Amino acid sequence: MIQSIVSQNKDNQHHFNVEKSFNFAKTSKIDIRKNIDAIKKRITPIWDLRDNVAVNPFFGFKDTKFLETLSLYESLLGSELLPPYSYFGSLNKKNELTDKDIDKALTECSLKYSSTLKISASDLKAKIDAAIEPKFLKIHSLCEVYDSFQNTNLTAVLKRTVSKWLSAYFDEGQSVWQLPTKEERLFSAWKQLAIYDDAYEKNHKGFAKYITDLPNDPIDTIESLSLNLVSDLNLDEKELQLYFLKLTTLLMGWTSYVHKYEFEAQRTGSEIELLKMGGFVDVLAIVMSYDSFFLTRINSQEKAKFKNSLDYKFDISNNIYKFLLLSASEINLRDSMLKSFDQSKALLPAEKIRPAAQLVFCIDVRSEVIRRHVESVGNFQTLGFAGFFGVPIDYKVLGATHSEQQCPVLLNPACEIFETSNSTQILKKRIESFQSMNLFKMLKSSINSCFTLVETFGWSYIFKLIKTNHSKGPVNINFELLGSKHKDEMLRPDLSTISLDQKVKLAFGALKNMGLTSNFSQLVFFMGHKSKTQNNPQSSALDCGACAGHSGISNARVLSGLLNDKEVRHLLNSKYELNIPADTCFVSGVHVTTTDEFEYDEYHFTQDFQIANFAFIKESLKVAQLKSTKERSKTLNYCEDLTDLELLQEINLKSRNWSEVQPEWALANNAAFIAGRRHLTKNVNLNSRAFLHEYDSLIDKDLSILELIMTAPMIVANWINMQYFVSAVNPTNYGSDDKALHNVVGQIGLMRGNGSDLLMGLSQQSLFNRDGQLMHQPVRLQVFIETAPDNLDSIIQKHSMVKELLDNDWLKLISIHPTLGHKMLYSSESWIRLN
Amino acid sequence: MFSHQILTIFILSLVLSSLALPYAVSSRMNLWSWLMVYFGPVMALSLTVFSFVTETPLKVDLYISQIEGLSVGFYLDILSGFILSFVLVIGAIVVCFSYRYLEMDLKRKDFLRSTSYTLCAVTTMLLSNNFIQFFIFWVLTSYFLHKLLTHVPNDKEALNSARQKFWISRLGDLFLVIAISIYYIEFQTFSFVNFSELTSVNDFRLELIGFLLVLGAITKSAQWPFHFWLPNTMNTPTPVSAIMHAGIINSGGYLLIRMSPLLNQTLYSLPFLATIGALTAFLGVMMMWAQTDIKKSLAYSTISQMGFMMLQIGVGAYGLALVHMLGHALYKAYSFLTIGQSVDYGRLNRIYRDTEKSNNPSLLFYAALGLFLIVILYVATVGLEKINSQSLVLTGILFFGLIQTFSLSKNVIDGFLNCLLISTLYGVLFFTSGYIFASILASNRIVAGWTFYLNLILIFSFGILFWVQKNFNHLKKNKFFKNVYVKMLNGF
């Protein structure tokens, strides 16, 4: 498609990557299946609220240029995907986008976009001053065309109707009377029931009959509907593909959600075709059935408009100005960061003083603040590593029948680990509390008891209402059941299910990759992180993304358990020559990001001196926590002019109050990913804007650690970064609206009020402050890696995913030479020297 | 005893207390702000208790007109006082909740103010002693609610559903206006509190008043076929739903309970109400079963619970209807304000989904059911006049509840204990409410033949729905049930 677009725009002289999947030889008969597959590749999965991990919604377009993709989606969605000129104007006023940056941006971008040669810095400034937003042509669906002519709003009805069916199909516990056809695949489940949908039939006479006549297989349906469309409107292949893509944007949330199942099946290597529920094609077929119904209802004029809108002229000339300004703002950020890095110690040998304690935190940007303060209060060494601590597991909490994934969603868990406890009571207690929870639900929903129950027990809710109103938190749910309650009865992972071999492998891999192979202190803390909020459907978005949106405590416990195991230590020594001193104890803990509290597992201590040491360290760390809270509170609501005690109360309230919608800023304003030795950033205040990963290229001779960093944490950071980017620039389509209007659907997802598409992305409350000011600066991820460009090149060549992301501008890579200090910017042709 | 002046001050402060709410809440609540927040409900409850102890309703008239029964004033007896205390406590909590919940909302001040006006209007409506004042504030409540429902600017859908609600409410107003007019023609007064002094002359007009009041109430309380507006009002911040489902929706029920002495004299309006109530209760439950999102599910639950309350009023169990109304209000307010936890339940369901179900003594259940049917047959043959119809209906419903509890309990002993607890509570509530509200509520009418049929219909519907719920799995292939499912999913 894009190739033909390019050929139509030859005079524009843009060097586009030839889009392979869109590129078909023109044949008389269009292969619909191939076209469906081409579109399917474009869809990025999203995860539901139980494991709410950030996703780059354009990951499927990583082989296409950033700017091209955004421009295409602007036309598909009909709304902006780049920040408005007024935003760049305000940056300019704040001196965060200077003339120098613009000049640099022009030079750097001219390599890829020859058209920028004609643009001067003054052009860009004129654009900012004029602040006239570029216009773009919208790509229409049939229904939208019908609406625009008839002045109706049937697109909204279509979206609501499809959402209704999909939420009924994917409901995981809200409804008592489930979809009668739930066991069949999505398309046929829908087809059997939609014929009874009088509410839809009311506005769409003849719809039931139209559905009955469709084939039973979703692909056959798409095929027959497409052939109809092609013959009626004389569409060619690229127009048909564009139409498919348009259909996927009508219900982006659900389409992406359905694709999650296919993504996971693909990851675990099971056959996608065997998925019982069907998948992307089912949704496409359903949406297409609704939309194509309008083909019979629109007249030739409307048909012409539809066909015209599909004849998409690819034109980035409007957006190139914004793109340059965006690049300039990123350059400003990048240069100020580079300037702040301290390379004076680069050549010195690593200090061999034994720290009082070592604390390993997640790479999450929130760790940056706490690490800085922890280091400032004592002789503490901190490290940054992916929050699952290199142990990709499925974790089954005590009493549960199913486990949850505790590692990035890109990875396959290596093993399943069960939780165990010294107490036998707790298992019984948990099962009983789950059973009574279920009993209550059944009594509430059963026809026989629902009235009696409300009548006899309704009044007792007055105590609950008043109690929770006084911020003790809605204690309705037994959080202990989720295994998140901490200090109860010595809950710990049962490591006996892992073979000794695997134990050693896991332990060594984790230590090696986090760069902690020598100079162990007496106490080494693995600090996972979690958030504590009440009544917050999006709470898992605040938890650890590297643990699939859950608390990182289980992984920390597993790793500490492995490393405290004498046998494992012995084998580490004999096999890998990794010597852990006998007095070293590994302690699992968790950093509560909402309150900056640390929680520790004290069951790891075996000797008295460790406990005495720990008591001392704990006190020093409390100072760091307060300092961190103070720093964070500058941008939090209701924290102005408070004494320390009041501040702690307020912060505590935020995590416990049932009406709090802005408990913390989470990963807002993330901008950089820095993999290097700590001294590079040690004395720099990065304002919670950087993911910090420990990396010492001098140790990493075989580049295996680098390879890992660039294929896992860097990608995760890119997903988070792009999620924030699109949610900030286009909250309507990629954000999850206002929390005050949220409605939980099927116990898994959010929708707005009466009903909408499945919401994805961040809510307004996570992005804007009380005055409506955007708290996240939309920039692409700037990746700084402290290693020579050659090393980076060899990884980039090896992994096409990384190469594609970089070549198409989805993130920026900067190499900082570990010994020479040279800073080089990656571009697909050559490295650009920055200083 | 209070002097009239002090009483006037108390009641006025109670009426105006809601208006202070937006100014009382802040991010840092101290003792004074909590006192201000809870002043209204505490005052209302104290006055109610005072009125109960002294066995006199508290009356304050600010202005008395020439027209009989028309005045500007307040009338607090245990009925209005009790309901008011609950509405105000829910209102106070909702305002506290909204303060932080809407901290991003640039129009938060407007929102809090509209909420406080709504509460103030409800207070005045509940404390009215005549139809004209009642009607004015009934409309005003509706008006402020409309403002809350359209709080989110430029939301077409919210506007549509608010408009839907607006017209249904106006229809209700129309019924009420006609009812009031006929009432005045019939009784030559607007007062609606001293029924003992009223004697009816014209049976037809009385029946008409009864019917119109019932119609007015069922539009307000979202009864079938006027129920469809309620589930569509979710495009507004959650606290609005809480206050609407917990407070405002009850005003229909209040009106009917207040008018119970009059309704008791009519022949057909109560059976009509009971029929509508029962129908709504059953339809509402079925629609609730099919909903896939929490807010709609709660909305249909409200509809069915309101239906059940109307059924109770229809069979003359006014005291229990009141208990039901208040219990439901608190339960629903809490449920709405904590919907955010729904996802936590989702996570729990995922990881514990195959936990053994507690033993389900189905044999016991069927034995109990059989026993119950025998009792019913016995009653039917022995003769109705000896048995109080309302207690029969209610005992029947309680019995079903007990059976359900029994069948879900872990074992026989547990089942017995649970059932004992529920029946004791039920009995206590039944007799206490009867005792407390004895002075206000009309005593029940002697059995009319229709209650027997109502009983049969109820048992029949309970049985069918129970069977449906047990057999979702077997029924899903059936075309008819697929069709019914879709209707229920769409909300009829």
Residue-wise pLDDT for A177-208, tens only, equals: 889 998 899 999 999 999 999 888 888 889 99
> Is the CB of residue B354 less than 8 Å away from at least one CB of chain A?
yes
d(CA B475, CA B465): 12
> Is the CB of residue B447 less than 8 Å away from at least one CB of chain A?
no
Which has more confidence, B315 or A714?
A: A714
pLDDT of residue B2: 58
Q: Quick one: what percent of chain B has pLDDT higher than 90?
A: 38
Tokens of A106: 């022009």
pLDDT of residue B302: 95
Least confident of A567-571, A753-757, B199-203: B199-203
pLDDT of residue B390: 57
- From residue A265, alpha-carbon distances to A252, A269, A409, A613 in Å are 20, 6, 12, 48
> Is the CB of residue B482 less than 8 Å away from at least one CB of chain A?
yes
Residue A276: band (very low, low, confident or very high) from pLDDT cuts 50, 70, 90: confident
The mean pLDDT value of chain B amounts to 83
Least confident of A75-89, A519-533, A716-730, B262-276: B262-276
| pLDDT exceeds 50 at position A14 | no
Q: Quick one: what percent of chain A has pLDDT higher than 70?
A: 92
pLDDT of residue A475: 55
Mutate one of B103, B282, B347 to test the A interface: name it (highest A CB count within 10 A).
B347
Mean pLDDT of all residues in A247-260: 94
d(CA A532, CA A534): 7
Residue A383: band (very low, low, confident or very high) from pLDDT cuts 50, 70, 90: very high
Residue-wise pLDDT for B215-238, tens only, equals: 999 998 989 888 888 998 888 999
What one-letter code names the amino acid at B42? V
> Is the CB of residue B160 less than 8 Å away from at least one CB of chain A?
no
Which has more confidence, A344 or A682?
A: A682
Mean pLDDT of all residues in B377-386: 51
Q: Provide Rg for chain A, Cα atoms.
A: 28
Which has more confidence, B264 or A373?
A: A373
Residue of B nearest to A536 (CA): B340
Task: Tell me the shortest Cα–Cα distance from B433 to chain A, in angstroms.
Answer: 12
DSSP code of A356? S
Residue of A nearest to B480 (CA): A196
Closest CA to B85 of B134, B136, B140, B122: B122
d(CA B163, CA B238): 19
Residues of B in contact with A658 (CB under 8 A): 97, 337-338, 340
pLDDT of residue A348: 59
pLDDT of residue A347: 58
> Is the CB of residue A418 less than 8 Å away from at least one CB of chain B?
no
Task: Answer whether A448 sits within 8 Å of B158, measured CB to CB.
Answer: no
> Is the CB of residue B406 less than 8 Å away from at least one CB of chain A?
no
Residues of A in contact with B485 (CB under 8 A): 177, 179-180, 193, 196
Residue B193: band (very low, low, confident or very high) from pLDDT cuts 50, 70, 90: low
Which has more confidence, B399 or A483?
A: B399
DSSP A370-399: HHHHHHHTSSEEEEE--TTTT--EEEE-TT
Residue of A nearest to B470 (CA): A446
Mean pLDDT of all residues in A743-769: 92
The mean pLDDT value of chain A amounts to 87
Residue-wise pLDDT for B47-98, tens only, equals: 999 998 988 888 888 888 888 778 888 999 888 999 999 999 999 999 999 9
> Is the CB of residue B414 less than 8 Å away from at least one CB of chain A?
no
Residue of A nearest to B423 (CA): A456
Residue A290: CA count within 13 A, CB half-sphere: 30
Contact assessment for residue A549 and residue A51, using Cβ atoms and an 8 Å cutoff: yes
> Is the CB of residue A477 less than 8 Å away from at least one CB of chain B?
yes
pLDDT of residue A768: 92
Which has more confidence, A762 or B437?
A: A762
Using a 10 angstrom Cβ sphere, with 0-12 exposed, 13-18 middle and 19 or more buried, the burial of residue A345 is: middle
> Is the CB of residue B297 less than 8 Å away from at least one CB of chain A?
yes
> Is the CB of residue B104 less than 8 Å away from at least one CB of chain A?
yes
Beta strand segments in B249-304, E:
none
Strand A749-752 relative to strand A742-745, pairing: antiparallel
Alpha helices by DSSP H, listed for B409-449, are 412-436
Contact assessment for residue A814 and residue A825, using Cβ atoms and an 8 Å cutoff: yes
Mutate one of A167, A437, A455, A459 to test the B interface: name it (highest B CB count within 10 A).
A455
Task: Answer whether A658 sits within 8 Å of B339, measured CB to CB.
Answer: no
Q: Write down the ipTM of this complex.
A: 0.91
Tokens of A681: 């950033």
Q: Who among B334, B346, B356 is closest to A748 (CB)?
A: B346
Residue A829: band (very low, low, confident or very high) from pLDDT cuts 50, 70, 90: confident
Task: Answer whether A177 sits within 8 Å of B488, measured CB to CB.
Answer: yes
Task: Answer whether B327 sits within 8 Å of A153, measured CB to CB.
Answer: no
Which has more confidence, A811 or B446?
A: A811
Mean pLDDT of all residues in B312-332: 88
pLDDT of residue A11: 35
d(CA B186, CA B194): 15
Closest CA to B28 of A353, A304, A649: A649
| pLDDT exceeds 50 at position A834 | yes
Residue of A nearest to B428 (CA): A456
pLDDT of residue B240: 94
Least confident of A477-481, B135-139, B242-246: A477-481
Q: Who among A178, A456, A537 is closest to B342 (CB)?
A: A537
d(CA B184, CA B46): 34
In B51-80, the residues whose Cβ lies within 8 Å of chain A are none
Using a 10 angstrom Cβ sphere, with 0-12 exposed, 13-18 middle and 19 or more buried, the burial of residue B381 is: exposed
Residue-wise pLDDT for A418-473, tens only, equals: 988 877 788 888 887 887 788 788 778 877 778 888 888 888 899 989 988 886 65
Least confident of A600-609, A627-636, B36-45, B404-413: B404-413
pLDDT of residue A473: 58
Residues of B in contact with A478 (CB under 8 A): 348
pLDDT of residue A5: 35
| pLDDT exceeds 70 at position A592 | yes
Closest CA to A759 of B67, B324, B343: B343
